[in-house]
Structure 1
Amino acid sequence: AEGGGDAKRRRADFSVGDRGVFFTTTTPGGAGNARRDLVRLLEEALGQEDTPAGGATGSAATSSPPGGGTTPAGDNGSAQAAAAGQEASAGARMEAELKQLKTTKPTFVLCSHEVAKGTGFLKFAGEAASRIPTEVVVRLLEAQRAEFQATRMAPSSRLLCRVLPVDYTCKPFLDDFRKLAEAVLPQHVGPEAEPTVWALEFRARNTTTLKKEAVLAIIDDIVAKGRHSVNLSDPKKCILVEVNPLFCGLSILPHWASLKKYNLHALTTTEEGKKATPPGMKPMMGAKAPSLPVEPAAALVAAPGAAP
């Protein structure tokens, strides 16, 4: 009975067609805290997108009259009053904008239960529903990398590992994936698409309803032969297929190599830090170098229940 209730809750907070971010953690029990870190980072990334590009508000209030002259003494009082009025107006506008940002804050909904131990899925809802997860995550990762390179400080989240955007979803079955792939992939790797270099990153977690070989065969039928090439280590476009009992996710990811396979932990860790396990972190899945979960080459299937 309890398991049935869990399944109903999962269905209630997820529907086919939803999109968001699938994440993994550096420790099996870190999904809850990692979720909070991820929500904060996503909100920061969206905030960077919404911030006006430039221009000083109310600059006219302090500018000199045409010709660089001074204000006549007789008009000094009226000029000061006008300047004060403009400053008050600018302040009111800023306050209204801040209030609007607070009331229209993007919403990220966590699916009720972990798909696999140490993982989670944040659905884009509310104001965030209109955003494309891949664009938001790329902005997030690039900002975190730039901050780390500038400060060499510890990462803003020691728990987040893979931050994988999911732009499209379908049921985790072969026919459903075929329909989705035929709708999405031709514009990227079809006969009319610009020649590119691609790779497949396939992950199946706690499910066997969709196999790597079948997924690769469907994609191979779509890819225009002789027009596009394959590079597993540094593709221009990485086709991400994330499969679990709840959904099959599909995304076309840029900068796969430079963003360390969308591994936030790898992106914000020094070479020295990669050689030792951070305090409090335990090896996962018997790995010898647990501080930086290493992903296999593209198209490798994870063992059921594996987090990274």
Structure 2
Amino acid sequence: MGGNKRLGGEGGGGSHAKRRYVAPTPGVCELSRGMRGVLITCDTHLEHKAIKEAYRLLDDLAGGGAAAGDGGVGGDDGDGGSASGTAGDKLAAELAALKEGGGEGGGSGGGGTAHAKRFSVAQTGCAGTVLLRFSEEADDPTEIASRALGEAQARGESSAPHVIRLLPVQAVCGATPAAIVAALQPLLAPLAGFGGTFAVQWRRRHNTAVDKESVIREVAAAVHAVAPKATVNLRAPSAAVVIEVIKSDAAVSVLPRWAELKAYNLRECARALPEATAG
């Protein structure tokens, strides 16, 4: 590894690198340490639709069988809702409905609320970014997200068109270099003996205290401690160590098939139709 070789990037940057801060809805769960799940990103003001679609997708893949449109997540998919309601109002209503549906026995519809127990919303305070928290240890965020992305590639169509990225979060920790490396240590174990390519993918929102270069340098050293033959490839790495700093927390993951799954971008996977075989 050359001394001037950059080890990580902003992970896509662009309009999604810095997102508008949104005050969390009072009484609703916020992103906090110890959580795991999938971080979804979507176009600003369309969170309620993205959440509804993501719930349905997760239910289908995890075998939950709950239909997100049957009383679990409210809201009209069309444009016939109240014109005076803001996106924040709609999201707050979505989250309130989820909170009510999480009790014993579910809502009045009888079905559609099982996902409120298995998966729940954790607000990040960033517009267009929500964590869907997994409550059951048996549900593997990486496996479920990889299946969703692979199916989108195979079909050339997304089951959640309002969702942009479907990024597994294996752990949430404090946003300090020491805490990030400590949280990643057990997640790096599967890379033992790995001789392929990797990159450190970095994003930061509403935080100016964490030094990017320090984190990337320490994380890369941790990778090489378990996989000394691994090499850096920023353009098309086969694996990625993902760090999403959001305010005072960091969501971290070690993800396979990074280039193959288009950086876990659901929309890009849906556009990437398999190449036709030669006749």
Structure 2 letter corresponding to 1:116:
C
Per the alignment, do residues 194 and 48 of structure 1 end up closer, same or farther by CA in structure 2, a change over 3 Å counting?
farther
Q: Are the counterparts in 1 of residues 238 and 260 from structure 2 also a CA contact under 8 Å?
A: no
Counterpart Cα distance in 1 of 2:126 and 2:113: 34
Question: Which residue matches 1:199?
Answer: 199
Q: Are the counterparts in 1 of residues 57 and 160 from structure 2 also a CA contact under 8 Å?
A: no
Question: Which residue matches 2:133?
Answer: 123
> Structure 1 length as normaliser, TM-score?
0.58
Structure 2 letter corresponding to 1:206:
H
Per the alignment, do residues 193 and 48 of structure 1 end up closer, same or farther by CA in structure 2, a change over 3 Å counting?
farther
Unaligned runs of 5+ in 1: 50-100, 149-153, 272-308
Structure 1 letter corresponding to 2:207:
T
Shift of 1:115: 3.0
Per the alignment, do residues 114 and 161 of structure 1 end up closer, same or farther by CA in structure 2, a change over 3 Å counting?
same
Shift of 1:248: 0.7
Equivalent of 1:264 in 254, 263, 266 = 266
Counterpart Cα distance in 1 of 2:27 and 2:114: 26
Structure 2 letter corresponding to 1:218:
E
Structure 2 letter corresponding to 1:257:
A
Q: Are the counterparts in 2 of residues 21 and 133 from structure 1 also a CA contact under 8 Å?
A: yes
Counterpart Cα distance in 2 of 1:194 and 1:34: 35
Question: Which residue matches 2:176?
Answer: 173
Q: Are the counterparts in 1 of residues 153 and 272 from structure 2 also a CA contact under 8 Å?
A: no
> Structure 2 length as normaliser, TM-score?
0.64
Counterpart Cα distance in 1 of 2:229 and 2:25: 44
Structure 1 letter corresponding to 2:249:
F
Question: Which residue matches 2:57?
Answer: 41
Counterpart Cα distance in 2 of 1:147 and 1:7: 36
Counterpart Cα distance in 1 of 2:113 and 2:25: 32
Question: Which residue matches 2:107?
Answer: none
Counterpart Cα distance in 2 of 1:8 and 1:232: 40
Q: Are the counterparts in 2 of residues 172 and 243 from structure 1 also a CA contact under 8 Å?
A: yes
Tell me the secondary structure at the aligned position of residue 271 of structure 2.
Answer: coil
Matches within 5 A, 1:155-174: 155-174=158-177
Q: Deviations over 1:21-75 (max 9, x none)?
A: 11111x21111110111111111111299xxxxxxxxxxxxxxxxxxxxxxxxxx
Per the alignment, do residues 254 and 23 of structure 1 end up closer, same or farther by CA in structure 2, a change over 3 Å counting?
same
> Of Structure 1 and Structure 2, which has the larger fraction of its residues in helix?
1
Q: Deviations over 1:137-192 (max 9, x none)?
A: 001111222222xxxxx53333110110001111122231132233432x245xx5
Work out which of the two has the higher radius of gyration on C-alpha atoms and give 1 or 2.
Answer: 1
1:17 aligns with 2:34: yes
Paired residues, what number?
A: 204
Unaligned runs of 5+ in 2: 1-20, 66-110, 274-279
Q: Are the counterparts in 1 of residues 64 and 114 from structure 2 also a CA contact under 8 Å?
A: no
Question: Which residue matches 2:118?
Answer: 107
1:147 aligns with 2:164: no
Structure 2 letter corresponding to 1:107:
R
Tell me the secondary structure at the aligned position of residue 229 of structure 2.
Answer: coil
Structure 1 letter corresponding to 2:238:
K
